[in-house]
Structure 1
Amino acid sequence: MPSQEIGLPIPNIPHAVSVTLPTWEATVGYEEGEDWVVSKMITGYPRFFIHAVIKTLSQKIESKYGREGERCMIFPSYKVAKRCREFIKSKSDLEGLFVRVLQLSTPPPADEEEKSTIIQSTIGVVFFPASQFPLAKNYWQHSGEGISSRMGEYVLKALFNNIDSTRSPSPPSNNQLGATRQEVQAQRIQQKSPSISASFRSSSMVAHEEVEKEFNTFIEQKYGRVLDLKFAKEAKIALRRRISGKVDKSHSQKEEMEKARRGKNVSETDVYLFPSGMASIFFSHHALLKISTEGPKKSVCFGFPYVDTLNILKKFGPGVHFLGLGDDNSLDELEEKLESGEFNIMALFCECPSNPLLKTPDLKRLRSLADKYRFAIVIDETVGNFLNIHVLPFADIVASSLTKVFSGDSNVMAGSIVLNPSSPLYPSLKQFFDEEYEDLFWAEDALWLERNSRDFAERAAKIDQTSLKVVKLLQDSPLISKVYHPYIGSTRPYYEAIKTPNGGYGGLMSFLFHNPDHAVHFFNAVNLHKGPSLGTNFTLACPYAILAHYQELDEVAKWEVDRNLIRISIGLEDPEELLDVLQKSLDIASSS
């Protein structure tokens, strides 16, 4: 059964992406820092909650290399650490602030055999006065460029323990496995097509049996994914080909994925991998600021976006014009201000569709304005995903969070950028990426993501089909006042204009109740996983505005984001069981 225990990782493994906030009250308590919630938080979404293993690594580095009164933040390169240092110094009110950067490296493999378990890695460590930690944490959150928990775990072992401890425990022998081999196989089948009752039987099993670190590692490898670091380069090539549409059919990709090509001119060399989806947004903005021939200019954020996209545009560079409604009237306003000269912009950022209101912008009209007034368009296609929609012709840069449905397993953070070879900015962008891009995507994370994404097409199709059934259930309920989904609403024609021939409408939806109390009762009663993130193989719900915008609920209401909004990301459960769970919760809300 989905866990309803505050702070438990979702799934219950060491490198989980989501975390359980099982009630409306617990979500509010988390946002207000109440001890009854915060004290139980084992983990959290990785950009907002620094993983325990990274905290331990930070403490050890502070103890060994820090000076009195200093704290540190760890990044996967010296160059990223310098960007963090610049951010802290530019935003701090402290005069004469001294921020320093230290570079540390782990040992390389000694021979060919060790390449399977040992990889040389470099980290950049930013040291700053303890009072400046909130600013350093802001950079970590907004940029998405922090080290992953797997990288932190590896570096911790390599720098502060015997290097042999970096090797993963050997898989159990046949005698040790016994019936476990059958259980693991059954769990893998359940994970790919779980029922509500069975989808997290493995989680409770892990919680019960998670006795030692060796077993934790085995649980992550229970699907036959024994990680061999020497294959990380090949894994990244496979990922870039998968994203570009140049699919290797030997990996059992479906015909639909082959058809959903980015475009005949897109090469795998136009695809760049990042440690998180937000890092891809951040680096897109960073690149455009650097290549601007007229100097840095403001950008436009078109439509209400995920919170840190707007934070990046506000806090890095000269600022942002926010057209938060993202509708046709907003487009009219944009065109008028471009024509009058009031707006002289570097770029326009938008989501397709947007999160959480699932609006699709008029990309054709936006592209026409971009060509006329010579600004870049960056499209975040995470919610739609490139199997469902084809946005590259309208974009100079396409950014995605691969953490979501591309991975599905909620156990790895990743992002990507695709450059459009037909863009007028392509030559300058390509040159900048060739000179400045760093591959910061940790080897183990790449191996996990490559395996997770092999059945991306099949999973996405099933999620799309189930989602339409859930949308209908919500629309038919007399309790629900509004449902947000690309299949319905005024912007559906714009979605249809970019939908691929075999594409669907995605698994994300939001909805409102006529009575806000019903929203609380429904959420508390619904027997689903509840926490941050989306695109997971299991259905995941959250009170979105409370979770993402608790400190600015009145402000976001101006952009039609209601404080009582519930967001659900549909998973791979049996559709009828999922509908039954939702209906029972609606019935409970109705009788409350």
Structure 2
Amino acid sequence: MQQTHPSQSIGAPIPNNTPHAVSVTLPTWEATVGYEQGQDWVVKKMQSGYPRFFIHAKIKELGELLEKTYAREGEKCMIYPTYKVAKRCRAFMKAKTQLPKLKVRILQLSTPPPKNAEEASFRVEADIAVVFFPASEFPLAKQYWQHAGEGISSREAEYFLSEMKEKLVNDIRYKKSHRNGGNMGSRKLSPHPYMGTGDRSARSSGSSGRHSTINKPLASNPEFVSFIEERFGRNLDLSFAREAKRLLRERIAGQELAEYASSDLVYMFPTGMASIFNAHELVLHALSEKKDLKSVCFGFPYVDTLNILKKWGAGVHFYGFGDDESLDQLEKLLKAGERILALFCECPSNPMLTTPDLKRIHVLAATYDFAVVVDDTVGNPSNIAALPYADVVVSSLTKVFSGDSNVMAGSMVLNKQSQYFGRLKKYMDEEYEDCFWVQDAIFLERNSRDFVRRSEVMNRNALAVLKLFQDSPLIDKIFYPSVSKSKKYYDAVKKPSGGYAGLMSVIFKDPTDAVCFFNTVRLSKGPSLGTNFTLVCPYAILAHYQELDEVQKWGVDRNLVRLSIGMEPEDELISILQEALDCAQEQHEI
């Protein structure tokens, strides 16, 4: 799904005409700033957005119906896939609220199960857990949604609407009529689903008796249905979901060295952030005697990784540069007697592309008894082998593994040679819930079949882009694993057939050149990375607008431009980038 004609319309989904797009068009520097500042000329045009930050229209629609049906006065809601996840949201809100006493309620609903084998191709029993809270606490609820990444999938919301919307609308009408003294005959409001703290699920009757196809939820978008049929040759069949998940686990395990991983040690999550959040929950609870110890965030990470380590558990030691000197400082701290729960790092980091010395970290972990969690999203397991030096490897499958920018997912892999393996596996056996929505699994399985080949193309294209920037007089700094001071540490974990991946960041000598380059480059512009098409963004503005001075301390320049290199023909891609560089050069000379 390469973007042959990238949209330049503010708020349009990336890719174009994609109902469940992961990225969104912010075509100019000014529009990106406007979005971060909440300016109407940008915000009101947003049709889409990165799903953990921008709640999808289908999720909003479902939430509004649930609020009209079940909310008490002054309440809003958030929707999660299971009761256990909803309880975590509730616990977070109660721990962080400024209210003297916060009342949070949880409602559970399910759609009807399939009646027979024929229905199993288009119907599943879908569960949701709805968290109701005072409207004033919505920003706090949104924090959990963003940081933990465990919110309901937009496809699950769409499916739930297709199964339950009619019933919810009828219940709303009845409530209004009943409130206004109207007469609807002998009809009774369906039994109110269970609300409270118990583990019982309320089974809502749903709207049964209607025949459907799996494309029914997408029927309002015939072009998209046509695309799916043309691409995959047939309609999606929900009965294949179990097999799709099995194939995904095998595909992910197959990228790891066999002596460290197997498919039964791969766990799927609805987002990459959820895999990181659950990895933290894993070490926090499986190594419970260490729960009062801080963790270490080593290297400047993606924003919500640091948020998780700050807001859950005992806190965090932050070594933002992630270099040899930082590791020396950490070792000095450990030698002085400080104990830690776990070290979290990215390999390499986003957006600075710094690779930690995983071999030395591994030795320190064995010496000072702490767990190591590595996020290999940017390097991706077709290029690097991080698992031998980690207890847990997490990855955002939304990125290169999928490539199509139309599905969210994450994975966690346990290292069976980890010193903590028995305890980690026991916890996952007892506590893991498969919250990965069935339709998302089918999309991801199909998207990822050729991910190694796509990764190789991105690797080659990135080297050509690197040379272009190295030859440009406008560029001050380039951040890429092969030209980083930490190259030797990347090479230490790089597979023989691997490359340096597709993510690159640059800083222009003159900030006005960065703005001109970004505004004129004829490529997709928005959040996310790892897409099959090249995706560009002013990263610090987009991810750290409220803390630009703070991130500057860690080398993240406010004018940094990040490029996720895609699969366009190399000469075409270089020509487009050169055109934008030339434009910036011309402006600079005026």
TM-score higher than 0.5: yes
User: Relative to structure 1, is the Cα distance of residues 221 and 313 closer, same or farther in structure 2, using a 3 angstrom cutoff?
Assistant: farther
Give 1:95's aligned residue. 100
Give 1:240's aligned residue. 249
Give 1:553's aligned residue. 548
| Aligned length, in residue pairs | 539
Give 2:227's aligned residue. 219
1:116 counterpart = 2:117? no
User: Relative to structure 1, is the Cα distance of residues 377 and 211 closer, same or farther in structure 2, using a 3 angstrom cutoff?
Assistant: closer
Give 1:330's aligned residue. 326
**5+ long unaligned stretches in structure 1:** 172-209, 246-259
Shift of the alpha carbon at 1:220?
A: 4.0
Give 2:13's aligned residue. 9
Paired with 1:170 and 1:123, the residues of 2 have a C-alpha distance of 20
Q: Is the 8 A contact 1:158 1:165 kept in 2?
A: no
AA of the residue aligned to 1:69: G
Give 2:287's aligned residue. 292
User: Relative to structure 1, is the Cα distance of residues 445 and 166 closer, same or farther in structure 2, using a 3 angstrom cutoff?
Assistant: farther
User: Relative to structure 1, is the Cα distance of residues 468 and 101 closer, same or farther in structure 2, using a 3 angstrom cutoff?
Assistant: same
Paired with 2:318 and 2:220, the residues of 1 have a C-alpha distance of 49
Paired with 1:211 and 1:62, the residues of 2 have a C-alpha distance of 25
Paired with 1:48 and 1:100, the residues of 2 have a C-alpha distance of 23
Give 2:33's aligned residue. 28
Shift of the alpha carbon at 1:211?
A: 10
Residue in structure 1 matching 2:257, options 244, 262, 266 = 262
**5+ long unaligned stretches in structure 2:** 167-206
SS in structure 2 opposite 1:222? helix
Q: Is the 8 A contact 2:387 2:393 kept in 1?
A: yes
Give 1:359's aligned residue. 354
Paired with 1:166 and 1:465, the residues of 2 have a C-alpha distance of 45
Q: Is the 8 A contact 1:154 1:166 kept in 2?
A: no
User: Relative to structure 1, is the Cα distance of residues 432 and 293 closer, same or farther in structure 2, using a 3 angstrom cutoff?
Assistant: same
Paired with 1:76 and 1:211, the residues of 2 have a C-alpha distance of 24
Shift of the alpha carbon at 1:570?
A: 0.6
Paired with 1:293 and 1:81, the residues of 2 have a C-alpha distance of 22
Paired with 2:408 and 2:212, the residues of 1 have a C-alpha distance of 21
AA of the residue aligned to 1:121: A
Q: Is the 8 A contact 1:383 1:508 kept in 2?
A: yes
Q: Is the 8 A contact 2:215 2:235 kept in 1?
A: no
Give 2:85's aligned residue. 80
Q: Is the 8 A contact 2:215 2:236 kept in 1?
A: no
AA of the residue aligned to 1:362: D
SS in structure 2 opposite 1:482? strand
SS in structure 2 opposite 1:512? strand
**TM-score by structure 1 length?**
0.89
AA of the residue aligned to 1:468: L
SS in structure 2 opposite 1:68? coil
Give 1:523's aligned residue. 518
Q: Is the 8 A contact 2:260 2:387 kept in 1?
A: no
Paired with 1:473 and 1:565, the residues of 2 have a C-alpha distance of 17
**TM-score by structure 2 length?**
0.90
Give 1:105's aligned residue. 110
Q: Is the 8 A contact 2:260 2:388 kept in 1?
A: no
Q: Is the 8 A contact 2:162 2:216 kept in 1?
A: no
Give 1:139's aligned residue. 144
> Per-residue displacement from partner, 1:269-299 (whole Å, max 9, x unpaired)?
0000000000000000011111224241210
SS in structure 1 opposite 2:547? helix
Give percent identity, aligned residues only.
61
Give 1:178's aligned residue. none
Residue in structure 1 matching 2:560, options 532, 555, 565 = 565
| Root mean square deviation of aligned Cα | 1.4
Paired with 1:336 and 1:415, the residues of 2 have a C-alpha distance of 34
Shift of the alpha carbon at 1:216?
A: 3.5
> Per-residue displacement from partner, 1:209-236 (whole Å, max 9, x unpaired)?
x994344333344312621000100000
358-367 vs 214-223, which moves further: 214-223
Give 2:60's aligned residue. 55
Paired with 1:62 and 1:304, the residues of 2 have a C-alpha distance of 39
Give 2:481's aligned residue. 486
Q: Is the 8 A contact 1:535 1:570 kept in 2?
A: yes
AA of the residue aligned to 2:579: K
User: 1:265-344 alignment to 2 at 5 Å?
Assistant: 265-296=260-291, 297-341=293-337, 343-344=338-339
AA of the residue aligned to 2:75: E
SS in structure 2 opposite 1:497? helix
> Per-residue displacement from partner, 1:116-160 (whole Å, max 9, x unpaired)?
000001111100000000111000000000011000100111122
Paired with 1:81 and 1:35, the residues of 2 have a C-alpha distance of 32
Give 2:237's aligned residue. 228
AA of the residue aligned to 1:527: R
